[in-house]
Amino acid sequence: MEPDPSTSWYPVARSDDLPLRHVFQGELLGRELAIWRADDGFVNVWENRCLHRGVRLSIGLNEGRELRCQYHGWRYANRTAGCTYIPAHPADAPARVICNVTFPAVERYGLVWTCDSPGGVAPGDGPPVLAALEAAAPLGLRNLPVNAEPSTVLDELAAYAFVPTGLLAQRTAHDRPVAGSATLGTEELGAEVSVTDRGHSWIELTARMGEAASRVVLFVQPVDSARSVVRGVLAGGADGADGADGAGVHSPERDQMAVLRHHHRELSRLRDAIEDRAARRPSPVPMTPRLQQVRLRPAESALEHDRRDGGRRTGLRVSVARRWDTADAIVAFELRQLDGLLPTPRPGAHIDVELPNGLVRQYSLVNGPGETDRYLIGVKREPASRGGSACLHDTVIVGDVLAISEPRNNFPLRRDSFRTILIAGGIGITPLLSMAQALHWSGHTYELHYFAQSAGHVAFTEILDSLGPDVTTHLGLDPSGTGSVLTRLLSDPEDGGHVYVCGPGPMLDATRNTATTAGWPDHAVHFEYFTNATEIDSSSSFEVELARSALTLPVPAGSSIMDVLRANGVAVASSCEQGACGTCLTAVIAGEPDHQDVYLNASERRAGDRMAICVSRSRSPRLVLDI
């Protein structure tokens, strides 16, 4: 019976086919694969086409943490294959569903294994575990492409004849060129070879000659219906000490070469015979693997900015893998998903964390590019904590399970700037740290200025150290000292330059004012408030008309627009629900918004065409929203 290809593991490359920063082109069951190792060692096996325009990713750039497509520079993250940046639209974060097709990957016996299971979920127990290859360091033979049907190739490999390793080694030790000789065949040497084990895509053979014995396992990679690659692994390496009662002779590299040559010559000879027979049979129809359709619904945009997701949802479950004090009163948490992969983090993104006490709080991700197996957050204990930071600090320990939302990005990073200035105050370092790492690892010029009370208040020093000279810390400055540094940093507004700032409210206000005074345009100054410190005035009452839903609803004093919409069954996206994060921004068609958020800047407020419906209200009796 044919094995189910979606749960069967096959080798598709050798581990040493993946040198530093290379992308290897592989193929399995008619499907092309782009195989690359990230700098953290993870092996990625992806469908070999960029989901934008179908260009082969094997001609892309392995940047160590991300793979960049050659055609339009789209970046895909290590491990998740999530798209992290679309250069044609620098201001927008790519939608979360923009994700390449991944396949599971395991390295074993010097080979990279995968199975035809799009989505990357590893089925079953993984690649075969073979006692012969577990015993001692196995030696990978040269792989051999064979133009014949994989099942036939497997059957015909039973006829493979070779000489036990120990004998080859002995003979070379005596300077008799056995393996290099074209005339001396296996038959003449008289080895007895038998099939000692076999699986659905591999065969184990043992050669015996007198006292000497050695085992080889031949794996068949089904490339297509009429093409195979035979990947051989010799038990016990070149010294033959594989535990199969062989006479091992320890000898240097020359033996290894002799052994490899012997197998290559014998396998090539067998290959020619297999191909001759295959050429006389009718060629089978090539395989037609199904291409995944993109996961966008029709008319949906690939850019997050254009999309509207549902409300605040904490649907992911993560466990606290590590927590440590990263600075005075700041605890870092490393969160790992219980199973599967976390959605791809992007610079500037935050998650909602549902705390054991029921509160929901937002924390920026500190992750650098390609760090996709965990989320890293930094939590500062707020003296006036309403129970959020105190709960995390005091009660959450390693092993605890938390519910979090998918990352949301209302503070996206442009990468089309000749000069990027990142300014952080205190715990405001967290989103800027992910931005700095993204810019650093993709070779963009930037500067990060980190204002903190003292050296003891500087968080994530190990990451800061990895960034090198582009980081400047400014310690122990009072407000006027901070002000003069800001004035100096922002003194030279540059065409095409961008400023990103995050920190305590007063420092953020000071930075924005300094930038405006210096002549930076509003659109070049990006900021993120952690909280909205302004007192919300919800005393007004008015009517909202929902243009697309054809609904008109009264908003009474004391209720927000968002409350009213939800009470009437209209789903709206939100996160902080206090006018700080910008998730609920909604287009205004008519009426005059009464802005009470801290997300929009002065010119955006004046334009009056978007509003944060969680806190902002209406100055006019009627407000028409594009919902």
Partner 1 sequence: MAVSDTATMGTPSCTDPVALHEWYPISALVEITPGLVHRTQLLGGAISYTRTPGGSRPVVWPSGGEASGAEVDGLAVDHQLPVRVKFGYVWTTLGRPEHELFDIAECDEADRRIQNGGSIMVATSAPRAIENFLDMGHFPYVHTGILGAEPRTEVLEYDVEVTDEEILATRCLFFQPQAALSASDGQMTEYVYRVPHPYCVMLYKSVPTDASRMDVIALFCQPMTEERVRAHNFLCMVDAVNSDTALKRFQQLIFGQDKPILENQSPRRLPLDPRAETPIRADKSSISYRRWLSAKGLTYAVIPATAPSPTPAPTPAPTRSS
482 binds partner 1 (CB under 8 A): no
Ramachandran class of 482: left when φ > 0, alpha when ψ lies in -120 to 50, beta otherwise: alpha
Nearer to partner 1, 54 or 126 (CB): 54
Q: How far is CA 293 from CA 51, 298, 502, 533, in A?
A: 9, 11, 39, 45
Rounded distance, CA 173 to CA 160, Å? 25
473 binds partner 1 (CB under 8 A): no
447 binds partner 1 (CB under 8 A): no
Which of 7, 301, 552, 603 binds partner 1 (CB under 8 A)? It is: 301
Report in angstroms how near the CB of residue 34 gets to partner 1 at its nearest. Answer: 11
Q: Which stretch binds partner 1 (CB under 8 A): 13-21, 172-180, 290-298, 521-529?
A: 290-298
Dihedral (C-alpha) 616, 619, 620, 624: value to the nearest 10 degrees? -20
Q: Edge-to-edge strands of the sheet including 447-452? A: 471-475, 447-452, 420-425, 498-502, 525-528
Q: Is there a contact between 21 and 64 (Cβ–Cβ < 8 Å)?
A: yes
307 binds partner 1 (CB under 8 A): no
Report in angstroms how near the CB of residue 286 gets to partner 1 at its nearest. Answer: 8
Reading the block at residue 133, the tokens are 């290859």
81 binds partner 1 (CB under 8 A): no
Report in angstroms how near the CB of residue 277 gets to partner 1 at its nearest. Answer: 9
Q: Is there a contact between 33 and 22 (Cβ–Cβ < 8 Å)?
A: no
Q: Counting beta carbons within 10 angstroms of the beta carbon of residue 311, is it exposed (0 to 12), middle (13 to 18) or buried (19 or more)?
A: middle
Report in angstroms how near the CB of residue 621 gets to partner 1 at its nearest. Answer: 34
Q: Mask of contacts with partner 1, 57-76, x by CB under 8 A?
A: --x----------xxxx---
Nearer to partner 1, 145 or 476 (CB): 145
Give how many residues touch partner 1 by CB under 8 A.
Answer: 52
Under rule CB under 8 A, which residues in 330-359 are in contact with partner 1?
A: none
Q: Mask of contacts with partner 1, 18-47, x by CB under 8 A?
A: ---------x--xxx---------------
3-state SS track over 130-166: CHHHHCCCCEECCCEEECCCHHHHHHHHHHCCCCCHH
* Nearest residue to 344 (alpha-carbon basis) of 539, 554, 158, 77: 77
DSSP assignment, residue 408?
A: B
In the chain, the amino acid numbered 507 is: M
* Nearest residue to 568 (alpha-carbon basis) of 594, 587, 542, 550: 550
Under rule CB under 8 A, which residues in 133-152 are in contact with partner 1?
A: 145, 147
Nearer to partner 1, 417 or 430 (CB): 417
Q: Which stretch binds partner 1 (CB under 8 A): 149-157, 220-228, 373-381, 395-403?
A: 220-228
Count of CB atoms situated within 10 Å of the CB of 594? 17
Q: What is the DSSP string of 479-528?
A: HHHHHHHHHHHTSS--TT-EEEEES-HHHHHHHHHHHHHHT--GGGEEEE
Angle between helices 479-489 and 505-518 (to 10 degrees): 40
* Nearest residue to 323 (alpha-carbon basis) of 394, 397, 380, 374: 397
Q: Which stretch binds partner 1 (CB under 8 A): 156-164, 195-203, 276-284, 566-574?
A: 276-284
Q: Mask of contacts with partner 1, 403-442, x by CB under 8 A?
A: ------------xxxx------------------------
Report in angstroms how near the CB of residue 15 gets to partner 1 at its nearest. Answer: 24
Nearer to partner 1, 415 or 449 (CB): 415
281 binds partner 1 (CB under 8 A): no
293 binds partner 1 (CB under 8 A): yes
Query: Residues interacting with partner 1, by CB under 8 A?
Result: 27, 30-32, 48-49, 51-56, 59, 70-73, 86-91, 98, 145, 147, 223-224, 227, 275-276, 278-279, 286, 288-291, 293-294, 296, 298, 301-303, 306, 415-418, 444, 496
